Each structure stands twice: as C-alpha cells, then as structure tokens.
C-alpha cells in the first residue's frame, strides 16, 4: 500500500462517492478521504440521491463508494445492490453493529463501525479497491 505524506495510507486520485445522511459526518468523511488523497466526486444525503448517482444508465464516474447503512428510515441496500451489479466496490461506514440482523446479507462486505479512527476507514476503502 502506498503511504501518504502524513505517513498514513494513500488514496491518491481514487474517485469516491460518499453516502451519509448526517451533514456533519458527511463533511468529516469528505475531509478524511480527501486528506488521504481521494477525489470525492459525489456527496449524497438521501437514498434517492444515492440511487441517482449510482444508476448504471447515467452514473457519475467513481471507483469506490462509502455508504452509511441507515439513511433515515431507509437502508442503503438498494444502492449496494446497484453497485454490486456494476462491479463497483463499496464499504459500509455505519453505526449498526456488524452482527445486526439488518446487515446479515452484507456480512461479506467491508463494514467499518462508527465511530472509528480515520485510518480504519481509509484502510477499508483501500482494501476494497481492485488490486
């Protein structure tokens, strides 16, 4: 893995879509990933927004997505299915515990539980990328 200037893992030039319904966490995720060198190409706060951005008919170009699992009363499962169908890797960054029944179908995917150190998320994003 490449190291960034600050000694952490680098995501230099990796295009990332972020889906997070909490505006402060969304900003924090953007700053964290951009600080590791990623190019944040989309910020989504709702399921509808995220589905539009990940639509295979008219998608924005990104290499990986970071998805909050709970988006208000909904989950990001529909977005995750869309990304899986397109072959786009993603990481769940969620307050849900890994063993929660609602996450059962996604246990094979990278799940980073909130809160976590920034390096844990950056490492998970780097590991999700094709090698």
Rg, C-alpha atoms of the chain: 14
pLDDT of residue 1: 46
Q: Give dist(CA 40, CA 72) in Å, integer.
A: 22
User: Contact at 8 Å (CB) between 64 and 88?
Assistant: yes
Decide if 19 is inside a domain.
yes
Decide if 2 is inside a domain.
no
CATH number, position 46: 3.40.50.2300
Decide if 3 is inside a domain.
no
Q: Residue ranges of the chain with pLDDT lower than 70?
A: 1-7, 56-60
Residue 131 token pair: 């090698």
Range of the domain at 35: 15-121
Decide if 4 is inside a domain.
no
Decide if 51 is inside a domain.
yes
| pTM, entire model | 0.91
Q: Give dist(CA 129, CA 131) in Å, integer.
A: 6
- What is the number of structural domains in the chain? 1
């Amino acid at each position: 893995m490449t190291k960034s200037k600050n000694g952490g893992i680098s995501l230099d030039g990796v295009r990332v879509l972020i889906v997070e319904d909490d505006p402060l966490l969304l900003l924090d995720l953007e700053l964290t990933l951009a600080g590791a060198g990623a190019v944040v190409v989309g910020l989504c706060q709702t399921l509808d927004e995220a589905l539009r951005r990940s639509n295979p008919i008219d998608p924005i170009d990104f290499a990986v997505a970071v998805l909050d699992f709970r988006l208000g009363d909904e989950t990001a499962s529909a977005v995750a299915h869309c990304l899986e169908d397109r072959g786009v890797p993603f990481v769940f960054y969620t307050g849900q515990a890994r063993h929660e029944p609602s996450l059962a179908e996604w246990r094979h995917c990278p799940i980073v539980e909130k809160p976590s150190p920034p390096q844990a998320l950056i490492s998970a994003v780097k590991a999700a990328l094709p090698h």
